[in-house]
Amino acid sequence: MTFLESMNSPSQLRELDDAECEVLAKEIRDYLVTTVAGTGGHLGPNLGVVELTVGLHRVFESPHDTILFDVGHQTYVHKLLTGRMGDFSSLRQRDGLSGYPSRAESEHDVIENSHASASLSWADGIAKAHQLKGESDRHVVAVIGDGALTGGMAWEALNTIAADKSTPPRKLIIVVNDNGRSYAPTVGGFAEHLDELRTTTGYEKLLSWGKSTLRQSGAPGRAAYSAIHGVKRGLKDMVSAEQAGMFDELGIKYLGPVDGHDLPMVEKALQRAKQYDGGPVIVHMITQKGQGYDPALNDDADQFHSVGVIDPLTGKSTPSKQTSWTSVFGSEVLEIAKNRDDIVAVTAAMLLPVGLAKFAEVYPERVFDVGIAEQHAVTSAAGLSYGGLHPIVCIYATFLNRAFDQILMDVALHGQGVTFVLDRAGITGPDGASHHGIWDMAMLRIVPGLKLAAPRDAARLTEELAEAVAIEDAPTVIRFPRGSVGTDIPALRRLDDGVDVLREVPAGTPKDVLIVSVGPFAGRAQEVAEELADQGIASTIVDPRWVLPVPGGVIDMAVEHSLVAVIEDGVKVGGVGSQIRSDLRAADSRVGVLELGAPDEFLPQGTRDEILEYAGLDVATIVSEIVHILPAEVRERAQQSSRRAV
């Protein structure tokens, strides 16, 4: 049995010596590469925190000491060390192991929210609770990195933590996992400050010298490793107050920089931080994403931040032959930018995932990556708009929640022409509860003047994006899901207000159901209509294209039908269906509205189809719901018609 296979509790780590820990670290990396290659997941970040996580669990006693992981995508090693190795084959799958911390899985997990920059606020609160309850023997350790220190919330927490003068001091330790990257290289002044700390302490120069010397001497394998790290241990691992710069000015003790892949050094630094009784401590760890796996280290794009199923030997995945929504957007926004000099793009540390790589390559001066700072991104975009440009803010739908106040008060209130492009909108799949982008439509519905489009296919994405950037006095939103875009679905006709009619009831036939399909549900709506037709129920299908505010043409068609069924993959509470119900009530219509959307709960992980079925958005369930709610006279007529057809 390997060390990893025998690991049921982190307390077992304290029974291993340095050599055994080195073997364990290799076992962990080998296991991660093999397992994540088969399931997909965040490989690079976890390969980069192996020694750091082992050191944390050797020095601190979880769960008595609280260990917090910002974002949480770097907790696979933590999960392995806390007895969950047997569950890794189900990683990120329905009813399987979460790709993030999960309280349901382990008492060692605390923060399930996978949005960045929140860990220091959690740490501040937990440390205060320990102090007020007299639990003076409990430490709180927050691991923050992968760009999370670019987020404003982290700075707000640092401001509070630094100002704490309580007696006795709270036992709070901040481990900065400095790999220089989020998805891509971290941007901003804080990243530059960390770079400066590396260079002013001579850390990188010494490391480079050590490696060069060993290459010349030809020291083999383990001897080379020991020599390099022996040299580095000669450095003092606490810099002077002058070198610590901003940390000293904040009043927070600084230790580092420390080689985060040298376990003895990691443990020594963490022990010093644990023993320090003068207040909060920052431990600066230098790590490398993808450590120990050449395909990740050689990937300049994101060092295998997140991968699908890959070949564990080569790191290569099977290229998809399908076109993604993101790539359609990326190509189209570049074409628009070529014809309009005022078009600029703003993103929050997500330049590659949201499809801005081509734009940034051609027009680097017109793309602004502000780091993990969505609030700043939105208000900065308002300023860009005021200055005469048209900014396109590209962001995952789930992360837009963080900037609602800025959309409402900085963009909408001031009538600024800002376009928001929401990638991964709706039910996304394996990343779980806090990554599903299901709240955007309900949230944005209440913003005065805002216009929101949900394209059903690539052709509509192209035309709706062009329509969005033509609006200069209000916020506009384009939302689309994760995955492949599928084939285009042509309309039978288009109403004067832009509503597309995809299916119509033959003349002289009673109009039973108006199906309003939001975005890519158009194909599913057609399947539903066919199933209803088999039961003698006639359906019209419309795609509003611009779903908020609801076009008048949808309401006009709704009053001609016995029932309106709205299919959307946002939360149905307060969603497009709710707005149509409200608009019909205002029109003094008694037509019933069936709201078919995501339930008012935090959805689990799984494939998109699995979660759609869980949410009741599969074809069979939608048909059943529609038939059940139809007026009795319509059901009776449909049954008679169906019997006659048989």
46 is in an annotated binding site: no
Question: Over the stretch 526-585, which tens digit does the pLDDT of each residue have?
Answer: 999 999 999 999 999 999 999 999 999 999 999 999 999 999 999 999 999 999 999 999
* 187 within 8 A of 349, measured Cβ to Cβ: yes
Spatial strand order in the sheet of 281-286:
66-69, 140-145, 172-178, 281-286, 253-259
Give, for 393, the enclosing helix (H) or strand (E). Answer: strand 390-396
The owner of tokens 């169906």 is 642
Question: Over the stretch 294-348, which tens digit does the pLDDT of each residue have?
Answer: 899 888 777 888 888 999 989 998 877 899 999 999 999 999 999 999 999 999 9
What's this model's pTM, rounded to 2 decimal places?
Answer: 0.88
pLDDT at residue 200, rounded to an integer: 53
Question: Over the stretch 241-260, which tens digit does the pLDDT of each residue have?
Answer: 445 566 777 778 999 899 99
Q: Determine whether 335 is an active site residue.
A: no
- DSSP characters over 322-382: SPBHHHHHHHHHHHHHHH-TTEEEEESS-TTTTT-HHHHHH-GGGEEE--S-HHHHHHHHH
277 is in an annotated binding site: no
Confidence class of residue 480 from pLDDT cuts 50, 70 and 90? very high
Confidence class of residue 198 from pLDDT cuts 50, 70 and 90? low
φ, ψ of residue 500 to 5 degrees: the values are -95, 130
> Which pair of tokens denotes residue 547?
């779903």
Is the pLDDT assigned to residue 202 strictly greater than 80?
Answer: no
Is the pLDDT assigned to residue 472 strictly greater than 60?
Answer: yes
Average pLDDT over residues 72-83: 95
Amino acid making up residue 589:
S
Is the pLDDT assigned to residue 226 strictly greater than 60?
Answer: no
Least confident of 173-182, 571-580, 583-592: 173-182
Closest CA to 505 of 539, 529, 533: 539
Q: Determine whether 289 is an active site residue.
A: yes
Per this entry, what is the length of the chain? 646
Is the pLDDT assigned to residue 646 strictly greater than 80?
Answer: no
179 is in an annotated binding site: yes
pLDDT at residue 203, rounded to an integer: 52
Active-site residue, selected from the candidate residues 267, 374, 531, 568: 374
Confidence class of residue 164 from pLDDT cuts 50, 70 and 90? confident
* 172 within 8 A of 221, measured Cβ to Cβ: no
Average pLDDT over residues 471-487: 96
> Which pair of tokens denotes residue 387?
């200055």
Question: Over the stretch 351-408, which tens digit does the pLDDT of each residue have?
Answer: 999 999 999 999 999 999 999 999 999 999 999 999 999 999 999 999 999 999 999 9
Question: Over the stretch 52-64, which tens digit does the pLDDT of each residue have?
Answer: 999 999 999 999 9
Question: Over the stretch 398-418, which tens digit does the pLDDT of each residue have?
Answer: 999 999 999 999 999 999 999
Active-site residue, selected from the candidate residues 198, 253, 289, 581: 289
Confidence class of residue 33 from pLDDT cuts 50, 70 and 90? very high
pLDDT at residue 147, rounded to an integer: 79
Q: Is 218 left (phi over 0), alpha (psi -120 to 50) or beta?
A: left
pLDDT at residue 236, rounded to an integer: 41
293 is in an annotated binding site: yes
Average pLDDT over residues 413-436: 95
Active-site residue, selected from the candidate residues 198, 402, 479, 572: 402
Average pLDDT over residues 27-48: 94
- Considering the chain, what is the average pLDDT of its residues? 89
Is the pLDDT assigned to residue 644 strictly greater than 90?
Answer: no
Average pLDDT over residues 119-143: 96
pLDDT at residue 581, rounded to an integer: 97
Q: Which residue has the higher pLDDT, 238 or 574?
A: 574
Q: Determine whether 374 is an active site residue.
A: yes
Confidence class of residue 21 from pLDDT cuts 50, 70 and 90? very high
pLDDT at residue 195, rounded to an integer: 58
pLDDT at residue 45, rounded to an integer: 93
- Domains in the chain, please, with CATH? 10-201+239-297 (3.40.50.970), 325-479 (3.40.50.970), 499-645 (3.40.50.920)
203 is in an annotated binding site: no
374 is in an annotated binding site: yes
628 is in an annotated binding site: no
Confidence class of residue 240 from pLDDT cuts 50, 70 and 90? very low
Q: Which residue has the higher pLDDT, 210 or 89?
A: 89
556 is in an annotated binding site: no
Average pLDDT over residues 168-174: 93
264/173 Cα distance (integer angstroms) = 18
pLDDT at residue 215, rounded to an integer: 46
Q: Which residue has the higher pLDDT, 321 or 350?
A: 350
Is the pLDDT assigned to residue 210 strictly greater than 90?
Answer: no
